[in-house]
């Protein structure tokens, strides 16, 4: 009879879908190897686990079977990091986090112990949200900060994308097993993060996404990070759960304010009202945590605008403006103005917004 | 007794000679019609019988055989009625035989009282016949306007069977239809939809002007109420005037389809076809039992407007690809293949998302990314490849509506005409007529860029995320902008403006 290693014991525990809170209670009473022996001998473990969960634990309470199942992980290209392993991040071991028994991952596991910040938000985001997700994610990479998010559509995906685009690191925390990735729209991004960053989750590869897996996953997102940035959230948005978890875990919550007329910013505005930090620029976070800029500052070439470009630029400095409005104020023809605007866009002086609106790039 | 009369049949927009042969012999009274006639020709028997009787002649009480030679080609339409009636009258010796050397071609449908009714496709028929050396025609008088554009032929437009018979006995009393010269009717014409009535929208107005000047396919994207349909409807008012050849080509197709406006005789304005999105594949491409021309051919030399583009069935959108490339369509059926020209400008409109309000400042969009993907995925890459310009139409504000008078279509059309004039001179003898038709060889010759512009395009590809396929599109549009500015070469400003008409590439 071979001895089951602690690493594998945690793997065994992770196979059984007991809620994180229950699992934490269970482990307060029994050490993992005690549990293993008890289940093996079919002894009662109190009223803590249900019939089905007990049966699941029982099925793999056999060393050979357990090892065989563990070796099967490589079929999915997935590796396992147990709670007991050295690489398991300390901050995730906090009691308030309800630490998972282990993490299934693909990619660079060392990222777990880097400085992390989460950027989350709603799926059906507006252009405003998209823009800010991009802005914060790409600017934070200058400070060697790893961007953590949930790889859902909308804000999450934009945050990951921006971090990769800026040459930074990113971690995607999954709410399902690696072999059952959802949503399909982000499949390509998922693969890219596996290769260039890290995808991680507490669920065995075959686990399908369910209603409860995403809120459960959110505690890991906030748990991994120093702070959480909520870019855009409606009042019923799942991103607010991440904010709640972050507060429970003692992480800082930053919220990006939005117009009071936009339902898509109602959630973040409410967070600010309740005391979350108002985030008006990347510098707010940097100052809060005293992060150091690791990137060699590139000297931005001064904007070189010609006469008409400068004229249009001056019109835009006071705020965004529509095409027709610009025509009226600049005395240029549609043809001339279009040429000027494109040229300025290419020079990175302005941004084109939906609905033929323009704004200076800050 | 035996008699023959010359007539012409129609296949697509080409005519072919049909010899109507009639033999009358003793036997059981009856009429037999052979030579692969369709139902409308088979019914000619009854029309001819009544028409002959009501014109004061008697119908043979013998056995009549009518053959439409060549006997192995399918024939359709009612245009053989007159020739059949004449052949029967000759064969029964009620009128003198028409000599074989007489080159007169008889075309017309008969009504029961002996009057001649107009037929479809007179212009293409006469053009084909004239090309084959026939110089004398008898046609229904209601087709006279259309036939007046034939040169070098005597066309007699007559009212009834009895008039045709008196013409045969004394042709000197009749004068042929006076020929008419084509003149583009666009000048001075008032359009119900005029750019004068479009307020604001300077971006879209300018884009429409460029599209019209270069014949570029254009896609308008915007929320409901942003005036996409209105913009498209105003487009005919700024389209360049038709040339005589273009008018002939288009008239041929409309004549075959029986769509010529009464009394006009010829299509003088560029067609604007706007089929609803429930349109079937056949109605767009053409086909059916008679291989009639479809919307893409009816829009030949004009505009095909597809509003709510993603609502069309996938098949309908995909069949557009090949005609957009070839500028013509070959409709192949078991019995025959018909070739129709289809050189049209595709103008289409769509909402940015299923609910229509994405990016709108008026209303929140409630669509999921998956829904939006599904919506836009209906437009396949190859189809979008063939659309030169895509622009956003914006919502118009109240201030815009109250604003100053906009520039009218007349002024814009003058600029468009000038730009087209430059193109037709430049592309003489190359087989194309406008910038949209440029191929890679001609593009190398006429769309050379200076270093500064080349640099701009290179940067724009990185910064704005333009796709590679956008490159040639941008060049073509830049060429048109240069033409509108009457510039020999493409300048920096032209390229930078052209880059702003690729909004779909930026996503």
Query: Over the stretch B279-299, which tens digit does the pLDDT of each residue have?
Result: 999 999 998 877 889 999 999
| B114 preceded by a cis bond (ω within 30 of 0) | no
**Mean of pLDDT over chain A:** 88
Residue B184 in this model has a pLDDT that exceeds 70: no
> Could you read off the pLDDT of A101-144 as tens digits, one per residue?
999 999 999 999 999 999 999 998 888 899 899 999 999 998 89
> Could you read off the pLDDT of A291-315 as tens digits, one per residue?
877 766 555 566 788 888 888 988 8
- Residue B332 DSSP SS3: strand
CA distance A179 to A185: 15
Residue A51 is predicted with a pLDDT of 74
| B434 preceded by a cis bond (ω within 30 of 0) | no
Extended beta strands in B334-474, E state: 337-341, 345-350, 389-392
CA distance B452 to B380: 33
Q: Give the count of Cβ contacts less than 8 A between chain A and B.
A: 86
For residue A290, the cross-strand partners are none
Q: B2-173 architecture in CATH?
A: 2-Layer Sandwich (3.30)
| pTM, 2 dp | 0.77
- Residue A136 DSSP SS3: helix
CB proximity A187 to B under 8 Å: no
3-state SS record for B102-131 = CCEEECCEECCCCEEECCCCHHHHHHHHHH
Domains of chain B, by residue range, sit at 2-173, 195-408, 438-507
Q: Test B203 with A324 for CB contact under 8 angstroms.
A: yes
Residue B187 in this model has a pLDDT that exceeds 90: no
CA distance B324 to B12: 20
> Residue B186: pLDDT band by 50, 70, 90 thresholds?
very low
Residue B7 in this model has a pLDDT that exceeds 80: yes
How close is the nearest chain A Cα to the Cα of B449, in Å? 16
Chain A partners within 8 Å of B369 (Cβ): 123-124, 153-154, 185
Interface with A, mutate which of B211, B363, B369 (most A CBs under 10 A)? B369
| CB nearest A343 (choices: B394, B400, B496) | B496
B64 touches B32 (CB < 8 A): yes
Residue of A nearest to B367 (CA): A124
Residue B55 is predicted with a pLDDT of 94
Angle, helices B470-484 vs B451-463, to 10°: value is 130
Q: Which value does ipTM take for this structure?
A: 0.77
Residue A2 is predicted with a pLDDT of 66
**DSSP 8-state class, residue B203:** H
Residue B261 in this model has a pLDDT that exceeds 90: no
Q: Give chain B's contact residues with A (Cβ, < 8 Å).
A: 200-203, 205-206, 352, 358-361, 364-370, 373, 392, 394-395, 400, 456, 459-460, 463-464, 481, 484-485, 492-494, 496-497, 499-500, 506
Residue B505 is predicted with a pLDDT of 74
Residue of B nearest to A184 (CA): B370
> Which of the residue ranges A340-344, B120-124, B195-199, B210-214 has the most confident prediction, judged by mean pLDDT?
B210-214
User: Selecting from 1.10.8, 3.30.1490, 2.20.25, 1.10.1610, what CATH number does the domain B438-507 have?
Assistant: 1.10.8
- B195-408 — its CATH code? 3.40.50.300
Question: Among A348, A352, A347, A306, which residue's Cα sits nearest to residue A326?
Answer: A352
How close is the nearest chain B Cα to the Cα of A21, in Å? 33
**Token pair in block for residue B375:** 């919506």
- Kindly list the structural domains of chain A, giving each domain's residue range(s) and its CATH number in brackets, ordered by start: 1-75 (no CATH), 109-289 (3.40.50.450), 307-360 (1.10.10.10)
Task: List the 107-146 stretch of A: residues with Cβ below 8 A of B.
Answer: 123-124, 127
Residue A41 is predicted with a pLDDT of 82
Residue A17 in this model has a pLDDT that exceeds 80: no
Residue B306 in this model has a pLDDT that exceeds 90: yes
Task: List the 343-362 stretch of A: residues with Cβ below 8 A of B.
Answer: 343, 345-346, 348, 352-356
CA distance A299 to A159: 25
């Amino acid at each position: 009879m071979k001895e089951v290693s602690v690493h594998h014991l945690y793997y065994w525990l992770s196979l059984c879908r007991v809620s994180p809170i229950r699992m934490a209670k269970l482990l307060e009473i029994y050490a993992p190897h005690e549990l293993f022996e008890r289940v093996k001998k079919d002894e009662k473990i109190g009223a803590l686990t249900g019939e089905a969960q007990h049966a699941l634990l029982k099925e793999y309470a056999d060393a050979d079977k357990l090892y065989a199942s563990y070796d099967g992980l490589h079929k999915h290209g997935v590796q396992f990091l147990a709670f007991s392993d050295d690489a398991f991040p300390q901050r995730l071991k906090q009691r308030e986090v309800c630490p998972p028994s282990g993490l299934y991952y693909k990619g660079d596991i060392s990222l777990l112990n880097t400085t992390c910040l989460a950027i989350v938000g709603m799926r059906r985001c507006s252009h405003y949200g998209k823009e800010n997700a991009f802005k914060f994610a790409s600017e934070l990479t200058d400070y060697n900060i790893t961007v953590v998010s949930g790889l859902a559509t909308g804000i999450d995906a934009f945050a990951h994308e921006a971090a990769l685009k800026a040459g930074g690191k990113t971690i995607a925390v999954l709410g399902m097993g690696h072999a059952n990735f959802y949503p399909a729209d982000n499949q390509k991004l998922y693969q890219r993060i596996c290769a260039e960053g890290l995808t991680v989750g507490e669920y065995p590869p075959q686990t399908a996404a369910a209603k409860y897996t995403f809120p459960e996953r959110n505690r890991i997102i906030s748990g991994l990070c120093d702070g959480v940035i909520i870019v855009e959230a409606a009042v019923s948005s799942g991103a607010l759960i991440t904010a709640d978890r972050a507060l429970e875990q003692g992480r800082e919550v930053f919220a990006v304010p939005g117009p009071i007329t936009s339902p898509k910013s109602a959630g973040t505005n409410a967070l600010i009202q309740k005391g979350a930090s108002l985030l008006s620029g990347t510098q707010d976070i940097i100052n809060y945590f005293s992060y150091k800029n690791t990137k060699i500052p590139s000297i931005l070439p001064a904007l070189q605008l010609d006469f008409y470009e400068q004229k249009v630029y001056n019109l835009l400095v006071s705020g965004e403006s529509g095409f027709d409005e610009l025509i009226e104020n600049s005395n240029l023809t549609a043809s001339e103005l279009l040429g000027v605007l494109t040229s300025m866009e290419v020079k990175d002086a302005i941004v084109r917004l939906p609905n033929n609106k323009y704004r200076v790039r800050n | 007794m035996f008699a023959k009369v010359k007539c012409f049949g129609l296949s697509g927009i080409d005519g072919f000679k049909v010899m109507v042969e009639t033999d009358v012999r003793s036997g059981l009274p009856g009429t037999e019609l052979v030579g692969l006639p369709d139902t409308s020709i088979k019914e000619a028997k009854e029309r001819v019988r009544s028409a002959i009787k009501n014109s004061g002649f008697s119908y043979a009480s013998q056995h009549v055989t009518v053959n439409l030679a060549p006997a192995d080609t399918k024939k359709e339409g009612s245009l053989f009625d007159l020739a059949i009636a004449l052949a029967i009258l000759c064969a029964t010796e009620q009128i003198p035989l028409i000599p074989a050397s007489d080159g007169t071609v008889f075309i017309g449908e008969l009504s029961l009282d002996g009057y001649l009714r107009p037929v479809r496709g007179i212009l293409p028929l006469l053009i084909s016949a004239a090309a084959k050396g026939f110089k004398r025609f008898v046609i229904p008088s209601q087709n006279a306007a259309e036939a007046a554009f034939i040169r070098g032929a005597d066309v007699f437009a007559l009212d009834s069977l009895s008039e045709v018979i008196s013409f045969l006995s004394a042709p000197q009393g009749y004068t042929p239809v006076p020929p008419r010269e084509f003149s583009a009717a666009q000048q001075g014409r008032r359009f119900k939809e005029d750019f004068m009535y479009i307020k604001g929208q300077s971006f879209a107005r300018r884009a429409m002007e460029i599209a019209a000047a270069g014949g570029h396919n254009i896609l308008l994207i915007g929320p409901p109420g942003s005036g996409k349909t209105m913009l498209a409807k105003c487009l005919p008012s700024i389209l360049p005037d038709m040339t005589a050849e273009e008018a002939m080509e288009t008239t041929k197709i409309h004549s075959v389809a029986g769509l010529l406006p009464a009394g006009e005789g010829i299509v003088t304005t560029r067609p604007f076809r706007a089929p609803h999105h429930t349109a079937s594949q056949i109605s767009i491409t053409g086909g059916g039992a008679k291989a009639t021309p479809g919307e893409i051919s009816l829009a030949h030399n004009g505009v095909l407007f597809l509003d709510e583009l993603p609502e069309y069935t996938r098949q309908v959108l995909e069949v557009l690809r090949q005609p957009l490339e070839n500028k013509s369509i070959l409709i192949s059926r078991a019995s025959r293949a018909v070739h129709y020209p289809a050189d049209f400008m595709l103008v289409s409109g769509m909402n940015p998302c299923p609910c229509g309000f994405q990016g709108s400042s008026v209303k929140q969009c409630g669509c999921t990314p998956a829904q939006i993907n599904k919506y836009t995925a209906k437009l396949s890459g190859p189809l979008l490849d063939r659309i030169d310009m895509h622009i956003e139409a914006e919502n118009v504000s109240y201030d815009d509506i109250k604003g100053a008078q906009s520039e009218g279509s007349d002024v814009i059309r003058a600029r468009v005409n000038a730009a087209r004039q430059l193109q037709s001179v430049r592309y003489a003898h190359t087989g194309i007529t406008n910038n949209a038709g440029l191929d890679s060889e001609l593009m190398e010759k006429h769309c050379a860029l200076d270093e500064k512009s080349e640099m701009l395009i290179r940067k724009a590809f990185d910064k704005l995320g333009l796709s590679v396929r956008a490159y040639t599109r941008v060049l073509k549009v830049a060429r048109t902008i240069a033409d509108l500015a009457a510039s020999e070469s493409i300048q920096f400003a032209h390229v930078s403006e052209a880059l702003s008409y690729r909004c779909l590439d930026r996503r």
